[in-house]
Amino acid sequence: MKFFIDTANIDEIREAASMGLLDGVTTNPSLVAKEGKNFRELLNEILEIVDGPISAEVVSTDFKGIMKEAKELAAIHKNIVIKIPLIQEGIKAVKALSSEGIKTNVTLCFSASQAILAAKAGATYISPFVGRLDDISHSGMQLIDQIVTIYRNYGFETQVLVASIRHPLHLVEAAEIGADVATIPFGVIKKLFNHPLTKSGLEKFLSDWKTLEE
Ligand code: G3P
């Protein structure tokens, strides 16, 4: 299972990368806006830290505009993956870009039917948003299960990238289902390490060790 970090914050990316567990980065317009930096400069900073797929999202919603943005972003570096919303014009662009060998990440996916469209268009990744589905009382994980099953049924090569992860159980359940990638916010990455028995066990080991030194 690949681990991406879902952030545009350089400090978070640097710290996650230093853990040696980071395979890539996903950004979106809201995450980039939070940083208040020039998008290209920000991407260049990220590219220097992480040698893996970096998703950069287009903000056009028409085929021509999406293609123009996509080409400009793809020209920055071979690791840039073009993130495109799951709309009709977006899927058209995914088809065109994939036939040119440009990698895409189809975002804002909330249904299995949408995921089928992305796979048929040749998307590199599909990003179903589990947390946002849970927020409206739909099971995000059920959707991951459905998409993984459908993609396996037909041997689709599109990778299932679980997005909108809110807590460690999302990651564990995605791993049980066999999703290819999880894009995880920094706060959740840190929570993955935690267990009260690890904490109390370590405290006991260290205090027992000290008695030897006394
Ligand atoms: O980048 C897409 C996705 O991970 C957003 O997550 O927390 O805004 O629903 P969230």
Q: What tens digit of pLDDT does each residue of 134-166 get?
A: 999 999 999 999 999 999 999 999 999 999 999
**pTM, two decimal places:** 0.96
Q: What tens digit of pLDDT does each residue of 70-88 get?
A: 999 999 999 999 999 999 9
Q: What tens digit of pLDDT does each residue of 182-201 get?
A: 999 999 999 999 999 999 99
- Residue 214 banded pLDDT, cuts 50, 70, 90: confident
Report which protein residue has its CA nearest ligand 1's atom 8: 164
Report which protein residue has its CA nearest ligand 1's atom 6: 164
**Residue 55 CA: which ligand 1 atom is closest?**
1
Report which protein residue has its CA nearest ligand 1's atom 1: 28
**Residue 28 CA: which ligand 1 atom is closest?**
1
The binding-site residues of ligand 1, defined as CB within 6 angstroms of any ligand atom, are 6, 26, 28, 129, 131-132, 163-164, 183
What pLDDT is recorded for position 52? 98
Measured CA to CA, the distance from residue 112 to residue 27 in angstroms comes to: 23
Roughly what angle, to the nearest 10 degrees, separates helices 88-99 and 112-120? 30
Could you say which of 37, 71, 78, 83 is catalytic? Answer: 83
What pLDDT is recorded for position 65? 98
Q: Is 83 a catalytic residue?
A: yes
Cα(138) to ligand 1 centroid in Å equals: 16
What pLDDT is recorded for position 213? 79
Residues 6+ positions from 31 with CB-CB distance below 8 Å: 6, 7, 8, 9
- Residue 125 banded pLDDT, cuts 50, 70, 90: very high
**Residue 83 CA: which ligand 1 atom is closest?**
1
Cα(203) to ligand 1 centroid in Å equals: 36
The DSSP bridge partners found for residue 57 are 83
Q: What tens digit of pLDDT does each residue of 39-54 get?
A: 999 999 999 999 999 9
